[in-house]
Amino acid sequence: MKSDKKIAVIGGGSWATAIVKILCNNVKSVNWWMRNEASVRHILKYQRNPNYLQAVEFDLDKINVSTNLIEMIEPADIVILATPSAFLVETFEKFPVELLENKIVFSAVKGIVPEFHAIPARFIHKTFRTPYNKIGIICGPCHAEEVALERLSYLTIACQEDHIAEEMADLMACRYIKTTTSDDLFGTELSAVLKNVYAIAAGICSGLGYGDNFQAVLISSAIQEIENFIDEVSPIHRDVKSSAYLGDLLVTSYSKFSRNRSFGYMIGKGYSVKTAQLEMDMIAEGYYAVKSVVEINKRFEVEMPIVNAVYNILYEKISPVIEMRILTEKLS
């Protein structure tokens, strides 16, 4: 039995495309907002996103796709934000935020809002006046590309209200998606932000020629940094060895589909930041996240040598060779 719940997905990239694909298994229809009018026309004609996950074919009886943000959001019970974090402020700049006040808002944004150095949950709360108990996050470990291939994947759905998390988990579960729930809204979201930074670090090291042995030390140190940071920012009981934390870190740091790892790899190979960004033609969320995490950590003063190394390479323009050599002396 398909749900009558009205859902709007905001974003036109690979993750938004994957979410729409998943939801079509369990709901009668999905409102899908995309920025690009040409992409909307292409989907309406060919049933495929022309720019992302072109193998996914959509049943147009199940989706209503448009560039009109108000028309897509106004009738929705649940709004899922799946735009790159760097575009969130721009997307909602002229939007009448009162239309979102009584809605449940989930973030599938895998980054930090750079204008405010804020995780998406805080941005949603401040901008839309949505109470935290009606805000949720959809996180991995899960790559959109494997969803498109219908390979078994796992999602963690976090919300402070258990029944909201469970409802969304049911809507996202299907033959190739297994879901679990969590009440750790801030921890899961901060971890999802940080893992992109560590994936860049893993890519840089790979580009420099470091092997699997060092990568193991790097990632085991990274999960300790994540734990220390999120425990300081949001001190509740959590197990960072679970899939929402460690699992998401591992897949983002090692997968061939990881854009953050790919971005880091190019930096390690000698590309400039600008050249790497142009070469990828996709958003590496960790690039924006590391600057914001360093800014946030000025308040908490958690020791984060890997984060600092990535920041020094990307923003202080210190040689990756030198910075990673210094980092190797700090890890154990």
Domain topology for 193-328: N-(1-d-carboxylethyl)-l-norvaline Dehydrogenase; domain 2 (1.10.1040)
- Whole-angstrom CA distances from 218 to 134, 210, 308, 329 are 36, 10, 13, 12
The chain-wide mean pLDDT, for the chain, equals 96
Q: Is the pLDDT of residue 1 over 90?
A: no
For the segment 194-204, what is each residue's pLDDT rounded down to a tens digit? 999 999 999 99
What size, in residues, is the chain?
A: 332
- What are the residues whose beta carbons fall under 8 Å from the beta carbon of 60, sequence distance 6 or more? 43, 44, 47
CATH class for the region spanning 7-183: alpha beta
Q: Give the pLDDT confidence score for residue 54 in this predicted structure.
A: 95
Q: How far apart are CA 168 and CA 153, in angstroms?
A: 16
Mean pLDDT for the stretch of residues 158-183: 97
Q: Give the pLDDT confidence score for residue 101 in this predicted structure.
A: 84
DSSP conformational letter for 183 = S
Q: Is the pLDDT of residue 174 over 80?
A: yes
Q: Is the pLDDT of residue 243 over 80?
A: yes
Q: Give the pLDDT confidence score for residue 280 in this predicted structure.
A: 86
Q: Is the pLDDT of residue 281 over 80?
A: no
- Whole-angstrom CA distances from 100 to 46, 70, 107 are 32, 10, 14
- Whole-angstrom CA distances from 282 to 21, 95, 251 are 21, 25, 18
- What are the residues whose beta carbons fall under 8 Å from the beta carbon of 213, sequence distance 6 or more? none
Q: Check if 195 is active-site.
A: yes
Evaluate whether 7-183 and 193-328 have a shared fold: no
Take residue 207 and report the two structure tokens written for it.
Answer: 């580009």
Q: Catalytic one among 103, 110, 195, 291? A: 195
DSSP calls for 81-110 = E-S-GGGHHHHTTTS-GGGGTTSEEEE---
For the segment 9-39, what is each residue's pLDDT rounded down to a tens digit? 999 999 999 999 999 999 999 999 999 999 9
For the segment 179-216, what is each residue's pLDDT rounded down to a tens digit? 999 999 999 999 999 999 999 999 999 999 999 999 99
- Whole-angstrom CA distances from 33 to 11, 52, 57, 159, 292 are 6, 15, 17, 23, 28
Domain boundaries, the chain: 7-183, 193-328
DSSP conformational letter for 302 = -
Under the banding of pLDDT at 50, 70 and 90, the label for residue 282 is: confident
For the segment 297-315, what is each residue's pLDDT rounded down to a tens digit? 999 999 999 999 999 999 9
pTM for the model stands at: 0.95
For the segment 81-116, what is each residue's pLDDT rounded down to a tens digit? 999 999 999 999 999 999 998 899 999 998 999 999
For the segment 25-76, what is each residue's pLDDT rounded down to a tens digit? 999 999 999 999 999 999 999 999 999 999 999 999 999 999 999 999 999 9
Q: Give the pLDDT confidence score for residue 102 in this predicted structure.
A: 87
Q: Is the pLDDT of residue 318 over 90?
A: yes
Under the banding of pLDDT at 50, 70 and 90, the label for residue 217 is: very high
| DSSP-derived pairing of the beta strands 177-182 and 78-81 | unpaired
Q: Give the pLDDT confidence score for residue 142 in this predicted structure.
A: 92
Q: Give the pLDDT confidence score for residue 41 in this predicted structure.
A: 98
